Amino acid sequence: MSPVAEIGLIAARELRKSTRSVKGIILGLLTLLGSALAIFICIWIESTARDKLGADSTEAFAQLQEQMYIKGGTDPGLAAYLAHTPLSLMVFLKVMVWVGPLLVALLGFDSVSGDLQHRGVRFWTVRTRRWSYLLGKFFGLWGTVSGITLALVVLSGGAVLIRGYISFSQFFSWGLRFWLVSALIVGTWSAIAIFVSTRFKTPLLALLSTFGVFFAIWFTGVVGLVSRLFDAAKPGDEEHARMVSVHWYEYLNPNGYDDLLLSPKPSMVAAGLGACAVYMIVFVGLSALLFAKKDV
């Protein structure tokens, strides 16, 4: 059997297992309920912003936002781009970026460790290459969580479309772009989860370790954000406040890549794509390397 067929077979099995298991169904329902609440909050945020600016239409809201950004010192080209970005969908994307790692951790902590505990991994590794097995696990987890985020993007986009805040073309164009951004970020977390899962034969230890590693990575982003807000709030001119740069360690947190991936500058988008690719290649590659030497 070719490596591609092996990867596809294992990935398909992971997708079926996640969607048919009790854990997957419960997580799916809880995610839908939480997302419904998030959608209402996002719509409320945009509605409040529109009322505050006195905008009676989507185009008027975009023009008023653009003027506000320009007055704040934003480059006119960037201001126009930001003003025409659907606010409610942008807020919902931020929600998905934060929820994505949680879904990855809960669905992927026992992806490999569960097979190691019950010796099921021996069935697969005598019939497939070990690195194919791991890639199948990775793509299965990535595909499962990305499928969930796709459903959430469609639901949120549909709600905002019905509300009249976006057009049909924006529903497809921005909805697709937001989903791709969330899927790329989910891919980085999936690679980390697979790496942690390969290191333990006990799912409980894998679960605790996954949450521990995820929290440590997430915390670097929080520390950097708080530090930048503190620096920007220091007495000084407005130009200094806008020039506060991102700390290097903030790039350890994949959740911070959304701004790069949504940038109107191709170089910034390329940097975000490269960062996600490096994360996935490093952790999946390291997982395969260590798993090849592991006694299963």
Q: Check: CB of residue 88 under 8 Å from CB of residue 43.
A: yes
CA distance 174 to 280: 25
User: What is the pLDDT, as a whole number, of residue 78?
Assistant: 63
> What global pTM score does this model have?
0.87
Q: At what angle do helices 87-108 and 168-198 cross, to 10 degrees?
A: 20
Q: Check: CB of residue 284 under 8 Å from CB of residue 189.
A: no
127 has pLDDT over 90: no
User: What is the pLDDT, as a whole number, of residue 15?
Assistant: 85
pLDDT in tens, 227-280: 777 665 555 544 444 444 666 677 788 988 888 888 888 888 999 999 999 999
pLDDT in tens, 184-239: 999 999 999 999 999 888 889 999 999 999 999 988 888 877 777 766 555 554 44
CA distance 284 to 190: 9
Who has greater pLDDT, 81 or 111?
A: 111
Domain boundaries defined on the chain: 3-292
pLDDT in tens, 83-115: 778 888 888 888 888 888 999 999 888 888 888
Return the amino acid letter for 267. S
